[in-house]
Structure 1
Amino acid sequence: MQDLWIRKLDWDESLPNDLALKWTSFLNDIRTIPAIRVPRWLGIEQNVTSIELHGFADASNAAFGAVVYLRAFGDSDVRVSIISSKTKVAPLKTVTIPRLELCAAVLLVRLVRRVIRALDLQSVPVHLWSDSTVALSWICSHPGRWKDFIRNRIIENQDLSQAKWSYVPSQDNPADLASRGVPIRQLQGETLWWTGPSWLSLPSSYWPCIRPTISSEADRERRRSISVTHTASP
């Protein structure tokens, strides 16, 4: 989609050869693999003692995405099921990766709200994960410190009061597959995508434990924005 926008093609124009090859490859990938089946059952039974929602966000220059899982655990086992995911194409206007990561966080919060309403899970704990320390720094800070772009997105993220944000290493972030893209043939066998990182099936003591703080990079961007504002003032 980005390539189409960049080249400003009209709706009835033929694709250039390079884009036509990409599209043909995508179609062939779909046609030559078995159907991907997603179980509807989420593992919620009478012996389930607790339920949690876990959401992951990630961004790249191409797109930003979010994916949500339900974690149900009973007396002896834990079941993690994918519930929903969403991606958006990154804008053509140049935006820094940390800001795109913040947009991905907003996309995740909106997706989690929709899941909560659909499954009536208002009282369920919500754990949200990002591999961007800068975006996490913004989310855990006071909105008044920042300019409009960042402030408005911080407010929306903080509006989901039951959510607990944490850092996840990039290699354990399933939303990375959504933001960077992955061939359908590869996606079919990606356990990271279908059931989340392996530690999600383990007790919380095995989860990543880095808490978000105000990072020096986030603070530098705040000072840059203040400097630009003062410079532009009459």
Structure 2
Amino acid sequence: MARSLLLDCDTAVQNVSMPRELKVNQDTEIHVFCDASATSYGACIYILNPSPNPDNKGDCKLVFAKGKIKPKNTVDNDNTIPKLELTAMLVGAKLVKLIQTSLSIEKHNVVFLWSDATVVLQWLSSHDIDSAYVHRRVVAIREACPGATLMHVSTHDNPADIITRPIRVKKFIINDLWWHGPPWLTSPRHQWPTQQVKYDLCPPLYNPQMIDVNVAIVEAFNTSFYYKDRSIQTL
């Protein structure tokens, strides 16, 4: 990288600041956005305080983000983008507990897990998973966020997409999607993009009902005498 570009980045980063004040109340929501690419994956966490007035917008701020480079010393089958998307969701789910503890957010506060990968949302909505790799991570996500709501978000509106792609520092600093999440997130929920499919993080296990059945055992009718005496007269 050219020295002038490095100096430009260093100067721009010095101008980055985040507000320290974070208001938390019983209506505070945690929104986790996750994404992955062929080279990296990660998640970003937002605190949303909905407006008590449905005609006004709420307040949403980025509070935490974490990105990782795709590991090299793993089986190639574990490095597929869908599996990295699932791992990104696990990163975000684990961060939820950290945020709840650090900001004293009650566990009953609403948590949303957002992903643009429908296959990940399908895995999290199923108990029928063949892959041990996928199953372990699905279980871990459910344990970390048992009451979370799964949501699909378009790639265009997913702020975690920024974690997985190169971006100029100057553009990054003024990127409102990164600092405040999708523009519609602060609107009332009925104004959010329509969810085409409803996903359930902890679907109920199949539990067949036990039915009592009375069975009568009847001895077989002995017809040997009939075959011995075939005429009605001899009977």
Asked if TM exceeds 0.5, the reply is: yes
Structure 1 letter corresponding to 2:197: R
Residue 111 of structure 2 corresponds to residue 111 of structure 1: no
**Larger helix proportion of the pair:** 1
* 1:30 matched to 2:9: yes
In 2: Cα distance, 1:89 partner to 1:124 partner? 31
| Aligned equivalent of 2:67 | 87
Q: Give me the whole-angstrom Cα distance separating, in 2, the residues matched to 1:181 and 1:41.
A: 29
Q: Flag the structure with larger Rg.
A: 2
Aligned match of 1:224:
none
Paired with 1:183 and 1:62, the residues of 2 have a C-alpha distance of 18
Picking from 161, 168, 172, the partner of 1:176 is 161
Q: Deviations over 1:184-204 (max 9, x none)?
A: 111101000000000101000
Structure 2 distance, partners of 1:26, 1:136, is: 40
Contact 1:29–1:183 (8 Å) recurs in 2? no
- What residue ranges of structure 2 are gaps of 5+ in the alignment? 201-235
| TM-score in terms of structure 1 length | 0.74
Residue 60 of structure 1 is matched in structure 2 by 37
Instruction: Give the direction of change, closer, same or farther, for the CA distance of 1:134–1:37 in structure 2 (3 Å limit).
Output: same
Give, in angstroms, the shift of residue 71 of structure 1: 0.6
Q: Aligned partners of 2:52, 2:84: CA distance in 1, in Å?
A: 40
**1: distance between equivalents of 2:50 and 2:100?**
18
Tell me, yes or no, if structure 1 residue 210 matches structure 2 residue 189: no
Q: SS state of the match for residue 28, structure 2?
A: strand
Count of paired positions = 189
Structure 1 unaligned runs (5+)? 1-20, 215-234
Scaled by the length of structure 2, what TM-score is found? 0.74
Percent identity between the aligned chains?
Answer: 31
Structure 1: 4+ residue segments shifted above 6 A:
none
State the shift of 1:118 in Å.
Answer: 1.2
* Paired letter, 1:139: L
| Residue of structure 2 equivalent to 1:199 | 184
Find the counterpart in structure 2 of residue 164 from structure 1: 149
The amino acid that maps onto 2:10 is: R
